[in-house]
Structure 1
Amino acid sequence: MLFMVIEHFDQARVKDIYRRFHERGRMTPEGLTYVDSWISADLGRCFQVMECDDVSLLQEWVLEWGDLARFEIVPLASSKATAAAVKKHL
């Protein structure tokens, strides 16, 4: 399953976040796959698409970074799958 992970950064800690990333990597547990990410222009948020079948893997990963960021995690459905589901009700 795909998830949009929105990381909210304290902008004063952005260098700390990138320092940890460069030293330790993404620190994702086995089974949690990074897909892609985007950073807001003000460096206040990171939007990541992650993939996994076990939500507890996301929780484990959040615990690795929770001292530097606040997380919002949204389960995603593809536009194609959603359109097919909605079409049944039209």
Structure 2
Amino acid sequence: MLFMVIERFKDGKTKEIYRRFQEEGRMMPEGLKYIDSWVEVNCDE
């Protein structure tokens, strides 16, 4: 079974959140498998 998760971040938090992803990974529950993602062009700060 596949699920699509849409993440929305508070204004000004995008760089901070992606830095955490790089440092700590996605921190998903055991048993979930990350497949792919895309980023909207307008998300940069």
Verify same fold: TM over 0.5.
yes
Specify the alignment match of 1:14 in structure 2.
14
Structure 1 length-normalised TM:
0.44
Unmatched segments (≥5 aa) in structure 2: none
Structure 2 length-normalised TM:
0.80
Taking only aligned residues, the RMSD between alpha carbons, in angstroms, comes to 1.5
Deviation by residue 1:4-42 (Cα, 9 ceiling, x = unmatched): 111112230011101111110111121011111000111
Task: Specify the structure having the higher radius of gyration (Cα).
Answer: 1
Specify the alignment match of 1:26 in structure 2.
26
Correspondences of 1:7-86 after superposition (within 5 Å): 7-43=7-43
| Displacement over 2 Å in runs of 4+ | none
**Percentage of matched positions with identical amino acids:** 59
- Which gives a bigger RCO, structure 1 or 2 (Cα 8 Å, sep 6+)? 2
CA distance in 2, matches of 1:6, 1:37: 10
Tell me which protein shows more strand as a share of its residues: 1
